[in-house]
A and B are shown apart, each in its own frame.
Chain A
Amino acid sequence: MGFSLSHLKALEAESIHIIREVAAEFAKPVMLYSIGKDSSVMVRLAQKAFYPGPIPFPLLHIDTTYKFGEMIEFRDSFARSIGADLIVHTNRKAIEDGASPFRLGTQKCCAQLKTRALLDALEAGGYDAAFGGARRDEEKSRAKERIYSFRDRFGQWDPKNQRPELWNLYNARVDKGESIRVFPLSNWTELDAWHYIWAEGIPIVPLYFAKERPMVVRGASLIPLEHGIPLLPNESPQMVMCRMRSLGCTYCTGAIRSEADTLPKIIEELISFRRSERENRVIDHDQEGSMEVKKREGYF
Chain B
Amino acid sequence: MASIEELLSSNDTTGLLRFSTAGSVDDGKSTLIGRLLYDCKSVYEDQLDSVKNSRVNRSGRAIDFSLLTDGLKAEREQGITIDVAYRYFSTPRRKYIIADTPGHEQYTRNMATGASTASLAIILIDARKGLLPQSRRHAYISALLGIPHLVAAVNKMDLVDFSEEVFRAIEAEFSSFCARLGRPATLSIPISALDGDNVVNRSARTPWHSGPPLLEYLETVPITSVHNYTHFRMPVQHVVRPDLDFRGFAGTVASGVVKPGDRVMALPSGRTSRVKEVVTHDGNLAEAFPPMAVCVTLEHEIDISRGDMLVDPARMPHVSRRFNASIVWMSAAPLEVNRGYLLKHTSHQTAAQITRIRHRVNVDDLSGQPAGHLELNEIGAVTIETTRPLYFDPYAANRATGGFILIDPVTNATLAAGMIEEQQAGPARRPAAEIARVETGRVTAAERITRSRHQAVTVWLTARANVAWILERRLFDRGCLVQALTDNVQTHLLPEAARVLNGAGIIAICSEASQEAEDRADAIMLLGGQLIEFGPDGLPPGDAAAVEHILAELERRGVFLPDDFSSGEGI
Taking beta carbons and an 8 Å cutoff, which residues of A are in contact with B?
Answer: 1, 3-14, 16-17, 20-21, 23-24, 47-54, 136-137, 140-144, 159-160, 162-169, 171, 173-175, 186-187, 189, 191-192, 195, 198-199, 262, 264-265, 267-268, 271, 273-276, 279, 288-289, 292
A198 touches B8 (CB 8 A): yes
Which residue from A4, A21, A171 sits with its C-beta under 8 Å from B237? A21
A186-B86 contact given A3-B289, A5-B291, A52-B246, CB 8 Å threshold: yes
In the complex, what distance in Å separates the CA atom of A10 from the CA atom of B282?
A: 15
| Interface size, chain B (Cβ < 8 Å) | 80
Given that A6-B15, A279-B44, A279-B46 are known contacts, is A164 also in contact with B113, CB under 8 Å in the complex?
A: yes
Report the separation of the CA atoms of residues A104 and B260 in the bound assembly, to the nearest whole angstrom.
61
Which residues B1-33 have CB closer than 8 A to chain A? 1, 4-5, 8, 11-16
Q: Is the CB of A187 within 8 A of B83?
A: no
Q: Is B560 an interface residue (CB 8 A)?
A: no
User: What residues of chain B have their CB less than 8 Å away from a CB belonging to chain A?
Assistant: 1, 4-5, 8, 11-16, 44-47, 69-74, 76, 82-88, 90, 94-95, 97, 109-110, 112-113, 116-117, 225, 227, 229, 237-238, 240-242, 246, 248, 250-252, 257, 279-282, 289-293, 295, 306, 330, 342, 344-347, 399-400, 403-405, 407, 409, 412-414, 417
Inter-chain contacts of A17 with B (CB < 8 A): 237, 252, 291, 293
Q: Give the distance to chain B from A299, nearest Cβ to Cβ, in Å.
A: 15
Q: Are B72 and A141 in contact (CB under 8 A)?
A: yes
Can you offer 26 A-B residue contacts whose CB atoms are under 8 A? A3-B229, A6-B14, A7-B11, A17-B252, A17-B293, A49-B293, A51-B240, A51-B280, A52-B246, A52-B279, A53-B240, A137-B87, A140-B72, A144-B83, A160-B72, A175-B412, A264-B5, A265-B1, A265-B4, A267-B8, A271-B4, A276-B47, A279-B44, A289-B72, A289-B73, A292-B71
**For the complex, what is the distance from the CA of A53 to the CA of B279, rounded to whole Å?**
12
| Contact of A163 with B413 at beta-carbon distance under 8 Å, contacts A50-B238, A169-B405 already known | yes
Do the beta carbons of A50 and B412 come within 8 Å of each other? no
Once the chains bind, are B347 and A24 in contact (CB under 8 Å)? yes
Residues of A within 8 A of B88 (CB): 136-137, 187, 189
CA distance A12 to B292 in the complex (A): 9
List the B side residues contacting A142 at CB < 8 Å: 71
Chain B residues with CB under 8 A of A268: 1, 4
Q: Which residues of A have CB within 8 Å of B330? A: 164
Q: Across the interface, which residues of A come within 8 angstroms of B85, CB to CB?
A: 143-144
When the two chains form their complex, are residues A144 and B8 in contact, meaning their CB atoms are under 8 A apart?
Answer: no
Q: Contacts of B306 on A, CB cut-off 8 Å?
A: 24
Least CB distance, A55 to chain B, in whole angstroms: 11
Partner of B242, one of A3, A14, A53: A53
B228 to chain A, nearest CB (A): 11
Residues in A whose Cβ lies below 8 Å from that of B109: 164
In the complex the two chains form, is A199's CB within 8 Å of B8's CB? yes
Taking the closest CB of chain A, its distance from the CB of B498, in whole angstroms, is: 34
Q: Determine whether the beta carbon of B15 is less than 8 Å from that of A21.
A: no
Asked if residues A264 and B4 are in contact (CB atoms below 8 Å), the reply is yes
| Complex CA distance for A5 and B109, rounded to whole angstroms | 30
Min distance, Cβ B379 to any Cβ of chain A, angstroms: 14
Q: Are A171 and B412 in contact (CB under 8 A)?
A: yes
Q: Is the CB of A171 within 8 A of B344?
A: yes
The 7 closest A-B pairs by CB, nearest first: A140-B71, A173-B412, A16-B293, A53-B242, A276-B44, A51-B281, A48-B281
B344 contacts A169, CB within 8 Å? yes
Query: Considering only CB atoms, which chain A residue lies closest to B404 in the complex?
Result: A169
A274 touches B4 (CB 8 A): no
A84 to chain B, nearest CB (A): 15
Q: A1-B229, A3-B257 are in contact. List 17 more A-B contacts (CB 8 A).
A: A3-B225, A3-B290, A4-B13, A13-B252, A13-B292, A17-B293, A48-B281, A50-B238, A51-B280, A143-B85, A165-B113, A167-B403, A173-B407, A173-B412, A175-B412, A265-B1, A267-B8
